[in-house]
């Protein structure tokens, strides 16, 4: 997807997921790019490093509107091409999402199924949800045979390895001679030279709050475990009375367990309560998690706007801010990326209008 831009140089602030994607695509189009990141190249300060990187638009419709679902569906089609353009391999899977529940949560599961059916009606391009009885569930996910009597399969949904992707993007940027990487280089928009001939693209997440005060952080807690006794072929979501818990299998028998969502900007270590709930729920899905080894317990705050939707805005000529990806970062990133590139190239984005992604008015370009 080649584009030309009305500038030869650009500055990108923030080297999380969006910052790396935008800088990479601009550089591949021939632009000289300066990338500034307040921390180091390992993305330790980025919400993207902690994420499970599931690409599950229908499953996420339990907490997201149709616009995010459409962005996620777009992303599922776009990610394979983006990943194929990287030299380093990145784990990508599109085997669907399995939803299961215990008998005591059957009423919540029925409400979820009704909600997913409503989403499928509103976004008909999504693959149809499949209801699984005991035998079909055992055929679909043999490791859960006998553990659950019913389930829902959401075909076509996927996931990728978030940390491998961040590393692959770093490698790609390092290989491009027109990219200058500045680590431990905290920059703010105030005082940063910018113009339409040398735009600044701000991808700093919560770091952009001084210029975008509506941003808030939403705390999420995630566990990574190594469980050699568990084999799952796809992400599994467990209907839970407090939040939609997920277990995402990654390469090497590593599993990412999470879905806590707390309206707090506390970045301290995960609480005992959340850890117990996540581990207990995982054990309830498969008893093999009892012998798993905890590799990491991580916390991060996702940058979120008041409506929980991503947005682009141009507070000044030559400045574009990208923010508010919330809990759907990897799922919506390709749509946000392509809309950003369209806007930078032409001052407007037909894709953003199609997907109901908020972008600046053409007159601000």
CA distance 365 to 263: 34
Tokens 């749509």 belong to residue:
335
CA distance 129 to 159: 18
CA distance 75 to 240: 27
Query: Within the chain, how many helices (H) and strands (E) appear?
Result: 10, 17
CA distance 284 to 244: 14
How many CB atoms neighbour CB 196 within 10 A? 13
* pLDDT tens digits in sequence order for the chain, 365 residues long: 578 999 999 999 999 999 999 999 999 999 999 999 999 999 998 999 999 999 999 999 988 999 999 999 999 999 999 999 999 999 999 999 999 999 999 999 999 999 999 999 999 999 999 999 999 999 999 999 999 999 999 999 999 999 999 999 999 999 999 999 999 999 988 888 999 999 999 999 999 999 999 999 999 999 999 999 999 999 999 998 777 789 999 999 999 999 778 888 988 988 898 899 899 989 999 999 999 999 999 999 999 999 999 999 999 999 999 999 999 999 999 999 999 999 999 999 999 999 999 999 865 44
Q: Specify the 3-state DSSP secondary structure of 205.
A: helix
Q: Which residues contact 210 (CB under 8 A, 6 or more apart)?
A: 188, 190
CB 68 within 8 A of CB 112: no
Q: C-alpha angle with apex 333: 339 to 221, nearest 5 degrees?
A: 150
Distance of CA 321 to the CA centre of its chain: 18
Tokens 């994607």 belong to residue:
21
Give residue limits of the domains in the chain.
9-49+162-215+306-364, 93-157+216-303
DSSP 220: E
Q: Which one, of 249, 226, 248, lies nearest residue 295 by Cα?
A: 226
Phi, psi of 51 (to 5 degrees): -65, 160
329 conformational bin, left if phi > 0, alpha if psi -120 to 50, beta if neither: alpha
CATH assignment, 9-49+162-215+306-364: 3.50.50.60
Q: Which one, of 314, 315, 300, 321, lies nearest residue 347 by Cα?
A: 314
Give the containing element (helix H, strand E) for 361.
none
> Domain 93-157+216-303, what fold?
D-Amino Acid Oxidase; Chain A, domain 2 (3.30.9)
| Cross-strand partners of 224 | 256, 296
Q: DSSP string covering 305-322, please?
A: -TTS--EEE-SSTTEEEE
Q: Specify the 3-state DSSP secondary structure of 255.
A: strand
191 conformational bin, left if phi > 0, alpha if psi -120 to 50, beta if neither: left
Q: Specify the 3-state DSSP secondary structure of 143.
A: helix
CA distance 211 to 221: 27
Q: pTM of this prediction?
A: 0.95
What pLDDT sits at residue 1? 59
Strands in 9-13's sheet, in edge-to-edge order, are 179-182, 32-36, 9-13, 200-202, 319-323, 311-313
Q: Specify the 3-state DSSP secondary structure of 265.
A: coil
Tokens 């140089």 belong to residue:
9
CA distance 358 to 347: 13
CA distance 37 to 203: 10
């Amino acid at each position: 997807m080649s584009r030309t831009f009305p500038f030869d140089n650009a500055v990108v602030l923030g080297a999380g997921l969006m910052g790396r994607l935008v800088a990479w695509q601009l550089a591949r189009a021939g632009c000289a790019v300066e990338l500034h990141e307040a921390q180091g190249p390992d993305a330790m300060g980025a919400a993207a490093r902690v994420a499970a990187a599931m690409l599950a638009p229908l499953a996420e419709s339990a907490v997201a509107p149709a616009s995010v679902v459409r962005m996620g569906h777009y992303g599922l089609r776009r990610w394979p091409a983006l990943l194929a353009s990287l030299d380093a391999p990145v784990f990508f899977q599109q085997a669907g999402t399995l939803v299961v529940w215990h008998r005591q949560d059957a009423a919540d599961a029925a409400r979820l199924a009704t909600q997913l059916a409503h989403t499928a009606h509103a976004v008909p391009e999504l693959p149809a949800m499949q209801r699984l009885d005991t035998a079909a569930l055992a055929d679909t996910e043999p490791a859960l045979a006998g553990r659950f009597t019913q389930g829902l399969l959401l075909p076509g949904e996927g996931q990728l390895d978030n940390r491998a992707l961040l590393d692959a993007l770093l490698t790609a940027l390092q290989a491009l001679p027109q990219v200058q990487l500045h680590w431990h280089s905290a920059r703010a928009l105030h005082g940063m030279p910018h113009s339409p001939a040398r735009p600044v693209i701000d991808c700093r997440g919560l770091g952009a709050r001084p210029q975008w005060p509506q941003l808030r952080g939403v705390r999420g807690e995630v566990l990574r475990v190594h469980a050699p006794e568990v084999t799952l072929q796809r992400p599994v979501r467990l209907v839970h009375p407090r939040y939609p818990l997920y277990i995402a299998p990654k390469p090497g028998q590593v599993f990412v367990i999470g879905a806590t969502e707390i309206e707090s900007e506390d970045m301290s270590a995960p609480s005992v309560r959340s850890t117990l709930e996540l581990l207990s729920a995982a054990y309830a899905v498969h008893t093999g998690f009892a012998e798993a080894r905890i590799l990491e317990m991580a916390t991060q705050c996702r940058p979120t706007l008041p409506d929980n939707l991503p947005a682009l805005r141009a507070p000044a000529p030559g400045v574009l801010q990208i923010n508010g990806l919330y809990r759907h970062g990897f799922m919506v990133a390709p749509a946000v990326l392509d809309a950003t590139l369209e806007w930078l190239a032409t001052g407007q984005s037909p894709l953003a209008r199609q997907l109901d992604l908020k972008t600046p008015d053409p007159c601000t370009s």
